[in-house]
């Protein structure tokens, strides 16, 4: 039941509009999520090289690596989602972006299958 004192949320949001804060937030989140997505896409290019390159990984190892990466994503989402609720989304988001960058670069220097799996997790 809507009374005269209540205003629908869509009307309030329409009157507020978009400002500098919203545009800045859009760009920051866009770059952060793009970095994470690029990490996933780049692995699809790396997998064939891991199969025929110097490591000569078999299908089981490649599948296990993809599973480890997925499990790491689930673990990180659960952990950092809870931390964001406790300590604030901005700080935790910035930390996760740094983690993606640092471990993405570190995994490019992995010297073995196990190092790569651990860093990608």
Q: Average pLDDT by consecutive 10-residue portion of the chain (121 residues)?
A: 73 84 89 82 89 91 93 93 93 89 91 94 93
pLDDT at 9: 84
H helices of 1-112, where?
9-16, 20-52, 59-87, 89-107
pLDDT at 75: 95
Q: Which residue has the tokens 């978009």?
A: 18
Q: Is residue 101 part of a domain?
A: yes
Domain count, the chain: 1
Structural domain of 51: 39-120
pLDDT at 1: 58
Q: Is residue 29 part of a domain?
A: no
Q: Is residue 44 part of a domain?
A: yes
pLDDT at 38: 85
pLDDT at 4: 57
Cα distance from N-terminal residue to C-terminal residue, the chain: 50
* Nearest alpha-carbon partner for 32 in 107, 93, 104: 93
Contact call for residues 62 and 117 (beta carbons, < 8 A): no
pLDDT at 83: 96
């Amino acid at each position: 039941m809507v009374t005269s004192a209540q205003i629908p949320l869509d009307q309030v949001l329409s009157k507020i509009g978009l400002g500098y804060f919203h545009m800045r937030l859009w760009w920051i989140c866009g770059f952060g999520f793009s970095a994470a997505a690029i990490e996933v896409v780049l692995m699809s290019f790396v997998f064939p090289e891991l199969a025929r390159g110097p490591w000569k990984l078999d299908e089981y190892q490649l599948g296990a690596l993809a599973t480890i990466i997925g499990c790491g994503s689930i673990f990180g989402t659960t952990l950092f989602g809870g931390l964001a609720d406790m300590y604030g989304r901005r700080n935790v988001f910035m930390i996760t972006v740094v983690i993606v960058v640092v471990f993405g670069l570190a995994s490019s220097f992995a010297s073995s299958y196990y190092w790569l799996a651990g860093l990608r997790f």
